[in-house]
Structure 1
């Protein structure tokens, strides 16, 4: 089961806590990576120790002390928790821990957060609605950030020309409105795939023993007990039994159903077309016989005008037959062409398997 990687610590890979001031609460490095509070403090301490000792004896001896390395010289200077990630995690009915406890998954549809200024939803495609993370770790959209920014009176070298006052906590941010990495955007990028997983999980099997839902790939069938159970329950209670992957069982069931449905659909038309064509050919023959017999009336015309009228009438019928046949033939040819194309597509699919 896929979990939200953006809601896990970049270093220890454990899921974030939903509130601040906890060991697993999210913090943000200045390079934009999200880590838990515990890893942040540990890495910060290592960074300070490494810098001090490296200054004395040479950095080459201590280059691998920290797990995280980047081009930012003060990556651990942000004292605030990542409030925007905590806001995301506050939707507890939508975001739940996976059964494996290794991350968050969608349990219900997720409401995309809104900018606190304009109340528009954040977006990963609309530039104006992409999130901007302020120094206080609150988020606003790019459009509002640009509208709220003012000239920075404390700027001397021109690097941070503007300052933005946070609408939530009123703290100022010296900013160029560019972030190396934004976990908020990473979360929004992951969301569509997780929504698809949620949809696929709606019909997911439930473990007969722990009552938790799992995707088919993670389930097994106990052959001895005739039940569908998760791997953990197999390990706990069915180690002496024979268990097989549920995916194989489902594949077999789906194959038999699909084969039956495909055969029924194709045979319906295989049986229908010959009957229709036979009836059509019989009617064409009847039309031919009747038309030729009626055309004999030309010989009994009493006047030339009568002859022309009858000739015109039969010619009209003959032309109507031709036009009707010409309308039918393209459909028949198109059907024949599309059948050939489907055969070619099927051959390619088989070759790729």
Structure 2
């Protein structure tokens, strides 16, 4: 069955340390089985030690036109019908992530190469500003061919049609990117809150149990250990907060820059 396009669902992809992926439901079942009992049999003993969802797969799956299952269900195919048969090769996930991040751009570039500004009738190359699209014949035509063959047909200036397609494609890319990180951060938020709550519950319980220790010295030693754990927790939390605030600030800057014509990019690159 296909993976879900967001985290925290039964069909959401989980990443195994051997380089493969399986759905969250099967991951939770398989991790409780002995190696010889499960369907995933691997020489590595740490395959199921990764608690995170495979966000690099969720990222590309959320871009609906970038990948689709082939009729056989054993390979992946992009919008140019280029079939990928190597997805089961055990490669490091950051190499795969780099490739997947570049895939939408490569797809658009290849599509552009397939569609030069050449008249479909006379095969002459013309400027896009001078060409037309014949809506009846679904052809790109130059002004000469328009007069000779398509004058009575409904037509559109080619640059307007191209601009409309570019705008729609970019709007879709924007929606996919925002949705990807919205889902990703929502999943990360939940994954952070659960261990945070568990840490607080377990630490306060440990401190409370000090009342049952028979000697003052041992109880004091335990409380000092708990205090050190609390301090370290504060330290790592405080280190994270500035990054979160910077991210929030940068997103606000980008939002405000949408209405400015002179935007050149973030100065420090964040």
- 1:40 aligns to what? none
Distance 1:318 1:258 in 2: 47
Deviation at 1:328, TM superposition (A): 1.5
Unaligned runs of 5+ in 2: 1-111, 263-270
- 2:227 aligns to what? 315
- 1:241 aligns to what? 153
Secondary structure, counterpart of 2:117 in structure 1: coil
Distance 2:222 2:128 in 1: 74
Secondary structure, counterpart of 2:260 in structure 1: helix
| Alignment partner of 1:294 out of 184, 203, 206 | 206
Secondary structure, counterpart of 1:244 in structure 2: strand
Secondary structure, counterpart of 1:228 in structure 2: strand
| Alignment partner of 1:270 out of 182, 202, 208 | 182
User: 214-223 or 294-303: which moved more?
Assistant: 294-303
CA, structure 1 residues 246+341, in 2 after alignment: closer, same or farther (shift >3 Å)?
Answer: same
Secondary structure, counterpart of 2:258 in structure 1: helix
Secondary structure, counterpart of 1:347 in structure 2: coil
- 1:328 aligns to what? 240
- 2:15 aligns to what? none
| Alignment partner of 1:254 out of 166, 174, 178 | 166
1:1-353 → structure 2 map (5 Å cutoff): 204-349=116-261
CA, structure 1 residues 224+202, in 2 after alignment: closer, same or farther (shift >3 Å)?
Answer: closer
Query: Is the contact made by 1:222 and 1:242 (CA closer than 8 Å) also made in structure 2?
Result: yes
Rg larger in structure: 1
Distance 1:296 1:242 in 2: 81
CA, structure 1 residues 206+327, in 2 after alignment: closer, same or farther (shift >3 Å)?
Answer: same
Distance 2:126 2:145 in 1: 12
Distance 2:250 2:196 in 1: 26
Deviation at 1:349, TM superposition (A): 4.1
CA, structure 1 residues 226+327, in 2 after alignment: closer, same or farther (shift >3 Å)?
Answer: same
Query: Is the contact made by 1:201 and 1:215 (CA closer than 8 Å) also made in structure 2?
Result: no
Secondary structure, counterpart of 1:296 in structure 2: helix
Distance 2:163 2:193 in 1: 44
Distance 2:207 2:126 in 1: 76
RMSD of the TM alignment (CA)?
2.6
Deviation at 1:340, TM superposition (A): 0.2
Unaligned runs of 5+ in 1: 1-199
Distance 1:201 1:230 in 2: 19
Aligned length: 152
Distance 1:305 1:234 in 2: 96
CA, structure 1 residues 267+282, in 2 after alignment: closer, same or farther (shift >3 Å)?
Answer: same
CA, structure 1 residues 203+327, in 2 after alignment: closer, same or farther (shift >3 Å)?
Answer: farther
TM-score w.r.t. length of structure 2: 0.50
TM-score w.r.t. length of structure 1: 0.39
Distance 2:195 2:117 in 1: 56
Query: Is the contact made by 1:206 and 1:214 (CA closer than 8 Å) also made in structure 2?
Result: yes
Secondary structure, counterpart of 2:259 in structure 1: helix
